[in-house]
C-alpha cells in the first residue's frame, strides 16, 4: 500500500478523534469520508500484502455463522472488538447493518466487529484497546448526585479515616486531581502518590473523570467554549462535584483549603478551574498544562500544544484570566513540566508563569532561581515575601507527571503510562507549596552557568532556598 496515502489519511483523521461530543461541527459527508478512509485503507493494505489474508477477511466479515471461528481467521493488522464499540462509535462502517455481503457493510459477527489495530492509537479507551480496564480502583468511591452535571462527567472520591477508623474532627483540605488524556481516575490516584499523601496527611481527594462519549481520548475538553467557561459544561460539573463534597458534613472539608491539580488535558483543565472559579481554590498546580484562554476550539488547541504555541504578553494572558470571572482573589500556583515534553510544547510553562504572575500582581523576575533534585526551580514572591507562583522545569523529562518512587518522606508514586520516575515527587512538593504538609527537606543549590538548558529566564542572583 502507498505509505504516503496512509500517512495522509492518518494526518486527516487524527484531529477528528479528539472529541466525539462536538463532532456535529463536521459535515456528515466529511465525517463519512474519514470513516471510510479508516476502514478501507487498512483493508487495501491487507489485500495487497497478503492475498491469503484477504480471503480470511471476507470470511471473517461475511456475517456467516461460524461457531468454529479461530484466531487465524483474524487477518494480520486487525483485532476483533466487542460489539460495544458500536455504542461509542455507531457510525463506524462495521457497525452499520445491511443486506449486502460486502465487508464494509456486513453486520457484527457474533457480537464482534473487525477493526484495524491502529485504530487503538486514536481510540485507546474503546474495548478491546483499553485492555478491559475498570473505570475505578479499589480505594476510590463513586460520587453521585452532584447536580445537573452539564459536562456529563463521572466523579470519584477518596476520604481516608484516621487510625480509629473515623473521620478526623478537624476540617481537612480537599485536593481535586484531574487525569490526563487516555487516563482515568483509577490510573491517576495512587500512581501519582496522591492517595499515599492523603492517607499520611489526612486530606480528602476528588477525582473527576471524563467519559468516552465526550472525548474519544478521555481528555477533558479544556479547549471547548461550552466547557471552559464559568457555569458551563465540564467546568460547572467539576464545581458541582466540589460543592457536593463541601456540603457532605461527614467529610468535614475546609472550604478555604480546596486545591486543584492535573496533567496535560487535566493540567489545562486545572487552569480553566483556577480562572473560572478562582474564589473556590486556595491553590492550583497544572502539570504540562496550557495557559487559560489559549484555545477556543479543537484546531486552536493543536496550535497551543504544537511547535509554535501562542505567545502573548503577560498582561494579555492575565486579562484572559481576569475576564473569566468577577473575582478579585486568585489562587497560588505551582507549575510543572518536563523540558523534553514532546506532546505539549514546554514553552507553555513560560507562558503560564507570565499569565499567573501577572494575575497575582508579581514581578516577572523570580525572587528565587535554583536547582533542586532534577529540576530548575523558580519562585515568585509577593511584597511580604510569600511565595505565590513557583515553577519546576524537570530536566530531561518527557510528557507526564513526575514521581520519585521510594521509602523517603518526600518520595512517592508508582510508574505507569505518563507517570514518570523523574527523581522528584511532584505531588509531595505541590502539597508542600500549598501548606498541606510541613517537613524539612534538603536545601536546593544555586545553578552554575548552563544548568538545565530549558529555561525561560536568566538565573537570578538570589540566595538559595526552597521558596515554600
Same-domain status, 146 and 197: yes
Q: Say what percent of the chain tops pLDDT 90.
A: 60
Active-site residue identified among 237, 264, 431, 466? 264
What pLDDT does 170 receive? 87
Q: For residues 351 and 311, is the Cβ–Cβ distance under 8 A? A: yes
Q: Which of the four pLDDT bands, split at 50, 70 and 90, describes residue 1?
A: very low
* Domain limits for position 207: 141-434
Q: For residues 253 and 174, is the Cβ–Cβ distance under 8 A? A: yes
Same-domain status, 49 and 84: yes
Same-domain status, 314 and 177: yes
Helix (H/G/I), strand (E/B), else coil: 176: strand
Kindly state the cell numbers that stand for 203.
486530606
Q: How many CB atoms lie within 10 A of CB 460?
A: 14
Same-domain status, 41 and 167: no
Same-domain status, 114 and 158: no
Q: Which of the four pLDDT bands, split at 50, 70 and 90, describes residue 139?
A: confident
Helix (H/G/I), strand (E/B), else coil: 419: strand
Residue of higher predicted confidence among 273 and 447: 273
DSSP state of 12: H
CA distance 8 to 181: 24
Q: What is the CATH number of the domain that holds 374?
A: 3.40.50.1820
H/E element holding 431? helix 426-434
The whole model's pTM is what? 0.69
Same-domain status, 92 and 153: no
Q: In the chain, how many domains are there? A: 2
Same-domain status, 97 and 63: yes
**Inside any domain, residue 425:** yes
In sequence order, which residues have a C-beta less than 8 Å from that of residue 52 and are 6 or more positions away? none
What is the chain's mean pLDDT, rounded?
Answer: 78
334 among known catalytic residues: no
Helix (H/G/I), strand (E/B), else coil: 5: helix
**Inside any domain, residue 439:** no
DSSP-assigned beta bridge partners for residue 209: 154
Same-domain status, 223 and 350: yes
Q: Which of the four pLDDT bands, split at 50, 70 and 90, describes residue 161?
A: confident
**Inside any domain, residue 210:** yes
Question: What distance lies between CA 443 and its chain's CA centroid?
Answer: 31
SS (H, E, C) 408-463: CCCCECCCECCEEECCCCHHHHHHHHHCCCCCCCCCCECCCCCCCCCCCCCCCCCC
| Among 88, 122, 156, residue at a domain's last position | 122
User: pLDDT tens digits for 387-424?
Assistant: 999 999 999 999 999 999 999 999 999 999 999 999 99
Q: For residues 335 and 390, is the Cβ–Cβ distance under 8 A? A: yes
Amino acid at each position: 500500500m502507498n505509505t504516503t496515502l496512509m500517512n495522509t489519511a492518518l494526518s486527516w483523521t487524527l484531529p477528528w478523534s479528539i472529541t466525539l461530543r462536538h463532532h456535529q461541527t463536521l459535515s456528515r459527508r466529511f465525517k463519512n469520508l474519514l470513516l471510510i478512509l479508516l476502514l478501507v485503507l487498512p483493508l487495501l493494505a491487507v489485500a495487497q500484502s497478503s492475498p491469503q489474508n484477504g480471503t480470511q477477511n471476507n470470511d471473517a466479515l461475511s456475517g456467516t455463522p461460524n461457531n468454529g471461528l479461530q484466531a487465524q481467521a483474524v487477518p494480520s493488522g486487525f483485532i476483533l472488538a466487542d460489539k460495544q464499540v458500536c455504542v461509542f462509535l455507531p457510525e463506524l462502517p462495521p457497525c452499520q447493518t445491511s443486506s449486502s455481503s460486502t465487508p464494509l457493510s456486513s453486520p457484527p459477527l457474533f457480537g464482534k466487529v473487525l477493526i484495524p489495530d491502529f485504530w487503538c492509537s486514536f481510540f485507546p479507551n474503546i474495548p478491546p484497546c483499553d485492555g478491559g480496564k475498570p473505570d475505578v480502583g479499589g480505594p476510590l468511591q463513586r460520587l453521585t448526585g452532584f447536580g445537573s452535571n452539564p459536562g456529563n462527567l463521572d466523579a470519584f472520591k477518596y476520604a481516608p479515616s484516621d487510625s480509629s477508623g473515623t473521620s478526623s474532627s478537624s476540617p481537612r483540605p480537599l485536593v481535586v486531581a484531574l487525569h490526563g488524556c487516555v487516563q482515568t481516575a483509577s490510573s491517576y490516584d495512587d500512581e501519582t502518590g496522591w492517595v499515599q499523601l492523603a492517607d499520611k496527611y489526612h486530606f480528602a481527594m476528588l477525582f473527576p473523570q471524563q467519559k468516552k462519549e465526550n472525548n474519544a481520548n478521555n481528555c477533558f475538553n479544556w479547549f471547548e467554549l461550552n466547557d471552559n467557561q464559568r457555569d458551563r459544561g465540564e467546568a460547572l460539573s467539576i464545581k458541582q462535584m466540589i460543592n457536593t463534597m463541601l456540603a457532605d458534613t461527614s467529610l468535614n472539608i475546609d472550604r478555604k483549603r480546596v486545591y486543584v491539580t492535573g496533567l496535560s488535558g487535566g493540567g489545562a483543565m486545572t487552569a480553566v478551574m483556577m480562572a473560572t472559579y478562582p474564589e473556590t481554590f486556595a491553590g492550583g498546580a497544572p502539570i504540562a498544562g496550557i495557559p487559560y484562554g489559549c484555545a477556543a476550539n479543537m484546531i486552536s488547541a493543536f496550535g497551543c500544544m504544537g511547535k509554535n504555541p501562542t505567545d502573548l504578553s503577560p498582561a494579555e494572558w492575565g486579562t484572559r484570566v481576569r475576564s473569566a470571572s468577577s473575582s478579585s482573589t486568585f489562587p497560588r500556583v505551582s507549575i510543572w513540566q518536563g523540558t523534553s515534553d514532546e506532546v505539549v510544547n514546554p514553552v507553555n510553562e513560560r507562558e503560564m508563569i507570565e499569565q499567573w504572575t501577572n494575575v497575582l500582581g508579581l514581578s516577572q523576575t523570580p525572587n528565587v532561581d535554583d536547582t533542586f533534585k532534577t529540576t530548575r526551580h523558580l519562585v515568585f514572591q509577593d511584597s511580604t515575601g510569600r511565595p505565590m507562583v513557583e515553577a519546576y522545569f524537570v530536566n530531561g523529562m518527557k510528557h507526564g507527571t513526575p514521581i520519585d518512587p521510594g521509602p523517603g518522606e518526600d518520595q512517592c508514586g508508582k510508574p505507569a503510562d505518563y507517570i514518570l520516575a523523574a527523581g522528584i515527587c511532584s505531588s509531595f512538593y505541590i502539597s508542600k507549596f500549598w501548606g498541606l504538609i510541613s517537613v524539612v527537606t534538603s536545601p536546593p543549590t544555586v545553578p552554575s552557568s548552563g544548568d538545565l538548558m530549558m529555561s525561560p529566564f536568566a538565573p537570578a542572583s538570589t540566595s538559595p532556598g526552597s521558596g515554600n
